Each structure stands twice: as C-alpha cells, then as structure tokens.
C-alpha cells in the first residue's frame, strides 16, 4: 500500500455544519422520544432537521457512545478507494461516476439461499443500527466513524450457509466505466476480500450502508461495504456485488499484491510491525480545524484496535505474529 504524508489540504475543514446537524439530531431524537413518552405529539422539527432524520432510520445502540467521531469532512475526503485513484483526495473527486442505485448482490457457494438479490431484499431497513467504531488504517492513521449498518451475522443467518462454509469471500463491482482506475493494473480487479466464517459472524462485523446518519457517500463504498473494526481498514471492502460462502480461504487484494506485507488476517496488532514501518502508534484524524488540529497527535495503537474483549477468543491458539 502506498504511504504518503498527508498534505494540509487533504484535511482542510471547510464546514462543520454536517456535524452540527448530526449532534443536534442526536439531541433531537432524545428529546422527541421524551416528548412522545410524555404524550406530547404535536412537536414538529424544522424542515432541514426533519430531512436529516428521515435520510435513514436506524436504532442507536450502545456501541461507541463515548467516542467522538472524526468530522464528516475528514471521513469523506481522506479515503482509500483505488478504483478512483491512489491519492487520498481522489475518491471524493472521482467517485461521482459510481451509480449505487439500483444495486444487486449475488450470493453464492455453500449456502441455502443463492441468487441475485436486490439491495433492499438483503438489507432490511428495520435492521439498521448505528455503531461508532474506531477504525485503524494499516498506514498508521485512524478515525472514529459513526457507521449505519446491519450486523453481517443477521444477513448470514437469513441466507443459511451449510457447515461446509468455513470462509466468506466478498467482491467489489468491476465496471471500468464507473471505476476508471480499473482501466489500469495498479491492482488485480475486482478488489476482493475475505473473512473466516466465525469472524463474519462476530457481532462487531457490519455491512455498512451509511455514516453520520446519511446514505453511504460514494467515496466510502456506496451502497454497501464491509466494516471490521478490529482489522486494518483494507479489509473493509467497498461497493460489494458478491458474497460467497466457501470451504477454502478466499483471496484478498492486498495479500495478492504484496503477501509479505499484508496477511489474510490483518488484525490490528501493535506488536507486529509492517515490514516498512511500525504499527505501535497511530495518528488519530479528528478533522478539527484551526488550533485543535495541532492536537491530532499520535496515540498508542491497541491490540485488536481496542476490541480485544469482543474478538480475542477467535484467535486464542494462534500465533498472531505468524498469522498476521
């Protein structure tokens, strides 16, 4: 993976409106719930706020309530999505070519319900949850992202895989008319990723369809992408068109590209350096403007990105240096 020092313009904070709306909306949701509980039904929020609230309806859960999300601007303008370019600013500039609607997802392999599903058939709106997760990139920067998504295990249970399904493979759209860098050979296309079935079934694993209460921006992997918060960000494959239940380990794009640098597991591990740089610390990108940005400083990277309690049992007999 190419590493480069971010330029100041990458993170320039031009507007904080979106976060204002987001945080006010949280307050609004709380107060409207309280109003409903007290029998006050005549409350009508301002038009804009209502539009924001109606973008996606979802349950808020306990996940990450104490974490302060990075700014909407940082999350949506500092991206890795090589189908649109290798610079962090390229996905925002170029991903308007992607058409996330209509969208179908093929389900294949050792599973009862195979076939091509419409996005809405697979992702039921009532199952959407908000989860605020720490995300750690292999390039030693991190963000905190308020995802909206469905726990992958809910979808897997509906599809009903057989006992032969030991792994789950994911594939990104391949269409060079929408994804212009697929005309080059910077990676083997389409982008592919995989998880062990127990990793896929872990309650933390999400198929995300939005962030900051909005439908997923194209540059973040519209309309649906994987989120595995205890693994390096490249496991979070974007714009998924195929989910396959397999008896063997599926290929993963960065592992194909540079197997000595990127393993299949890719669990966040400060004790296992990348061959070209340390993984002990990370730069938390908050996206704050002005003086506060000076404190976007290095923090210690935690084993499993801080989610050890939830996932360490998945690897209890494994040598995490060997199986990186």
Q: Is 217 in the site for ligand MTE (CB under 6 A)?
A: no
Which two structure tokens, joined as six digits, stand for 238? Answer: 């974007």
In angstroms, give the least distance from the CB of 221 to ligand MTE.
Answer: 6
Which two structure tokens, joined as six digits, stand for 34? Answer: 């309280």
Q: Is 237 in the site for ligand MTE (CB under 6 A)?
A: yes
**Residue with the closest Cβ to ligand MTE?**
233
Measured CA to CA, the distance from residue 220 to residue 232 in angstroms comes to 15
Q: Enumerate the H helices of 38-196 as residue ranges.
A: 47-55, 72-77, 90-94, 119-122, 152-159
Measured CA to CA, the distance from residue 200 to residue 227 in angstroms comes to 10
**Span from 95-103, 233-241, 259-267, 270-278 in contact with ligand MTE (CB under 6 A):** 233-241
The residues in 162-201 that bind ligand MTE, with binding defined as CB under 6 A, are: 172, 191
Q: Considering only residues 234, 245, 315, 324, which one is a binding residue for ligand MTE as defined by CB under 6 A? A: 234
DSSP character at residue 12: -
Measured CA to CA, the distance from residue 27 to residue 23 in angstroms comes to 6
Residues 6+ apart with CB under 8 A from 206: 129, 131, 133, 147, 149, 150, 151, 152, 226, 227
Q: Is 70 in the site for ligand MTE (CB under 6 A)?
A: no
**How many chain residues touch ligand MTE (CB under 6 A)?**
17
Q: Considering only residues 134, 231, 238, 284, which one is a binding residue for ligand MTE as defined by CB under 6 A? A: 238
Measured CA to CA, the distance from residue 88 to residue 302 in angstroms comes to 24
Site map (CB under 6 A) of ligand MTE, residues 109-148, x = contact: ----------------------------x-----------
Q: Considering only residues 220, 266, 267, 305, which one is a binding residue for ligand MTE as defined by CB under 6 A? A: 220
Please report, as ranges, the residues that interact with ligand MTE according to CB under 6 A.
Answer: 1, 79-83, 137, 172, 191, 220-221, 233-234, 236-239
């Amino acid at each position: 993976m190419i590493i480069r020092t971010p330029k100041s313009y990458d993170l320039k904070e031009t507007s904080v409106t979106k976060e204002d709306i987001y945080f006010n909306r949280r307050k609004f949701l709380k107060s409207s719930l309280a109003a409903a509980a007290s029998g006050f039904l005549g409350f009508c929020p301002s038009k804009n706020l209502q539009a924001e609230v109606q973008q996606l309806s979802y349950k808020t859960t306990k996940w990450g309530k104490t974490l302060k999300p990075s700014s909407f601007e940082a999350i949506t303008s500092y991206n890795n999505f090589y189908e649109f370019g290798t610079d962090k600013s390229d996905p925002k500039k170029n991903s308007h070519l992607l058409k996330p609607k209509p969208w179908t997802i093929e389900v294949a392999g050792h599973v009862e319900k195979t076939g091509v599903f419409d996005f809405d058939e697979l992702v039921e709106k009532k199952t959407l949850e908000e989860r605020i997760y720490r995300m750690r990139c292999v390039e030693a920067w991190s963000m905190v992202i308020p995802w909206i998504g469905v726990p992958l295990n809910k979808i897997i249970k509906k599809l009903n895989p057989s006992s032969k399904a030991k792994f789950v493979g994911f594939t990104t759209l391949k269409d060079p008319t929408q994804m212009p860098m697929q005309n080059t050979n910077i990676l083997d296309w389409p982008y592919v990723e995989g998880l062990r079935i127990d990793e896929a079934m872990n309650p933390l694993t999400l198929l995300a369809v939005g962030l900051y209460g909005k439908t997923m921006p194209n540059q973040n992997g519209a309309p649906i992408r994987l989120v595995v918060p205890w693994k390096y960000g490249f496991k979070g494959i974007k714009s998924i068109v195929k989910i396959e239940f397999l008896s063997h380990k599926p290929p993963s794009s960065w592992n194909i590209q540079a197997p000595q640098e990127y393993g299949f597991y890719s669990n966040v591990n400060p004790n296992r350096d990348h061959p070209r740089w340390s993984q002990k610390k990370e730069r938390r990108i908050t996206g704050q403007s002005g003086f506060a940005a000076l404190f976007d400083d290095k923090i210690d990277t935690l084993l499993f990105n801080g989610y050890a309690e939830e996932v360490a049992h998945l690897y209890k007999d494994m040598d995490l240096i060997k199986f990186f």
